[in-house]
Structure 1
Amino acid sequence: MGRRRGNLTTVARSRLGIQAECAAWCRIPKIPKPPRTLHSAADGGPLRPALIRPLGALGVAGVALLWPFVAVLALLAALEDWAEQLLSSKDRAKARAQRREAEEQRRAIAAQALDQPFDGDWTAAAGQFLLRWYGHSSHPKRLLVLTENRIVLAAPPSRVSIRQTERMVVVAEIPASEAQVEDPLIGAHPSDRLRIRFADGSWLTVITEEERSEIHKHLMRLPRLGSSGDVDTL
């Protein structure tokens, strides 16, 4: 994809000319169907990313050719419980602890509504921004960039299968006076979820490519717990 993992802040600075504090590739959950009148009033833009281009489709078809290997992996997964019985008691305890941690993380995400795309109010700032998300760019991912005074979203103008970093441009900006990025699970559970909270209290969820992305780590260093920007947490 042309990404330079672990150095996205530098990428944002060099390719976009932004004095970035941190950056991370992210996506949003599936957008639910909005009321028709509100969708039309927001220019009736797309609510899904564009279909994959032919080159990408060929890649997907190539993966389908690997189905025998997938079947083998499925068989191995089915044998997981049996294999666990052969592990030492220490290894079994570690595996159980990992499962408990994953379940606790899932519950924490649900408790903070981070499994929801937004707060549900289409008339508020987050809902209106969500209605225009794919109108800004039909690419499924965004480079979320935090600066001292704004939130920046960058992406290729249209969906691409390769070289997304080289083709990205700024597609949206939100002043820090209007929104902030926060990590509701900061200090509790590592996760791939972040929240963009607007000044009116509305919010939307973004999912980063990795747990504890550059942005998660940046938020952990801030004096304010899990937030960036000048808007007070509501």
Structure 2
Amino acid sequence: MAKRKVLRRARKILGEEPTLLVWCGIRGIPRPPKEIHRAAGKGRLKPGRHWTFYLGAVLFCVVVVPYLLMDLLSQKLNGNLDRDTRPDARTPDRPTAPAPHNGVFDGDWDLTAGQLLLRWYGTSPNRARLFLATRDRVCFAASPRRRVLPRSAGDVRLVTEFRSDEVRIEAEAGQPRGFAEFRLRFTDGSWLSLGNLADSDDADRFLRAVAGPYPGRRQGVVSGA
């Protein structure tokens, strides 16, 4: 269950009690065409990195890379490298290239889902977003901090919102923890898949609520979680 600090903040930014609440994110934001990105203001496409990431990168270069190079050199000297030069060994069948939108959204940057993606990371250096819904709204909130603890983030701000008749929430209950996803389908036909559900209890509760059917279900949003 979300901590009281997060719930209090959600009530404050919404002005009412949320009926749905879950931390989520995008597994991999696709890169838009340059002209579309430029027209949208060149917002951030990737989340900011915490300083520990850069420290780890430095340690990897200083410690791991030299070890790997020495090991590779040792294998060459000992003649243990595979020298098979047959054409079929050098050019194995490659898997089909993934779609440019990575299965994250429908692929049209001019529609609602694409426009939402363009400003997704520009509002926060962290990939985590608080997804909220009320009886008549679907909302996104984010913390301005680089590092976010979902159970105690009390500084989230409302990023954008939609009327409940503009978006439908689709999900299946009972998805494996750590791999659960849900989809937002907008009235213009565009769609966006969200995952990285941070809190297991909140994720299970959220998925059960939107999977329905429930008597309070209305335009894809349920009246109570």
Task: Pick the TM interval, shorter chain.
Answer: 0.5 to 0.7
Distance 1:126 1:152 in 2: 14
TM-score of the superposed pair, with normalisation by structure 1: 0.61
- Correspondence for 1:218: 209
For structure 2, the 5+ residue unaligned runs are: 61-101
What letter corresponds to residue 120 of structure 2 in structure 1? W
**Is the aligned partner of 1:124 residue 2:111?**
yes
- Correspondence for 1:140: 127
For structure 1, the 5+ residue unaligned runs are: 65-114
Q: State the superposition RMSD in angstroms.
A: 3.4
Q: 1:227 to 1:176 in 2, by over 3 A?
A: closer
Correspondences of 1:143-182 after superposition (within 5 Å): 143-161=130-148, 165-182=153-170
- Correspondence for 1:30: 28
Tell me which stretches of 4 or more aligned residues in structure 1 moved more than 4 Å. Answer: 6-9, 11-15, 56-61, 161-164, 223-227
Greater Cα shift, 207-216 or 190-199: 207-216
Report how far residue 226 of structure 1 moved.
11
**Is the aligned partner of 1:198 residue 2:186?**
yes
- Correspondence for 1:81: none
Kept in 2, the 8 Å contact 1:151–1:173? The answer is: yes
Correspondences of 1:42-191 after superposition (within 5 Å): 42-52=40-50, 54=51, 57=53, 116-161=103-148, 165-183=153-171, 185-186=172-173, 189=175
TM-score of the superposed pair, with normalisation by structure 2: 0.63
Q: Secondary structure at the match of 2:140?
A: strand
Kept in 2, the 8 Å contact 1:148–1:229? The answer is: yes
Distance 1:203 1:175 in 2: 15
Distance 2:217 2:42 in 1: 37
Structure that is richer in helix per residue: 1
What letter corresponds to residue 214 of structure 1 in structure 2? R
Aligned residues: 171
Correspondences of 1:6-17 after superposition (within 5 Å): 10-11=7-8, 13-16=10-13, 17=15
- The percent of aligned pairs where both chains have the same amino acid is 31
